[in-house]
């Protein structure tokens, strides 16, 4: 099941430099693990924004929420979730 997810990041200016570096490193590792596992299908930077547009392929809503809720940057993010379905014009639709 596919979802488009847009994440806007707003790091507070007074975030401790070490906490910040650590959180960003954990976010990257967390994302890359899920990419390798096949659930975080795509991640793109939105040009000129501290934001990404991502595609997730997950078993269900519960799993998507679990993934997003546990993002190391979750508390600094505004998240928008769009459920997707197969498009009838998709050449992969057979």
CB of 89 to a second copy, least distance (A): 5
Question: Rule CB under 8 A: which residues touch a second copy?
Answer: 1-5, 12-13, 27-28, 31-32, 35-36, 42-49, 52-53, 55, 60-62, 64-65, 68-69, 75, 79-91
Residue number with CB closer to a second copy (22 or 83)? 83
- Distance (Å, whole) CA 17 – CA 36: 29
Q: How far is the CB of 28 from a second copy (least distance, A)?
A: 5
Please answer whether residues 52 and 6 qualify as being in contact, where contact means their C-beta atoms are separated by less than 8 angstroms.
yes
Task: Indicate left, alpha or beta for 38 from its phi (over 0: left) and psi (-120 to 50: alpha).
Answer: left
Minimum distance, C-beta of residue 20 to a second copy, in the bound complex (Å): 12
CB 24 within 8 A of CB 17: no
């Amino acid at each position: 099941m596919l979802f488009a997810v847009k994440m806007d990041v707003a790091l507070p200016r007074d975030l401790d430099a070490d906490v910040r570096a650590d959180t960003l490193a954990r976010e990257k590792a967390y994302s890359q693990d899920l990419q390798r596992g096949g659930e975080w299908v795509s991640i793109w930077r939105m040009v000129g924004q501290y934001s990404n547009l991502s595609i997730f392929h997950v078993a269900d809503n519960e799993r998507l929420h679990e993934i997003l809720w546990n993002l190391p940057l979750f508390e600094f993010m505004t998240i928008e979730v769009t459920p997707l379905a197969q498009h009838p014009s998709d050449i992969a639709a057979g």
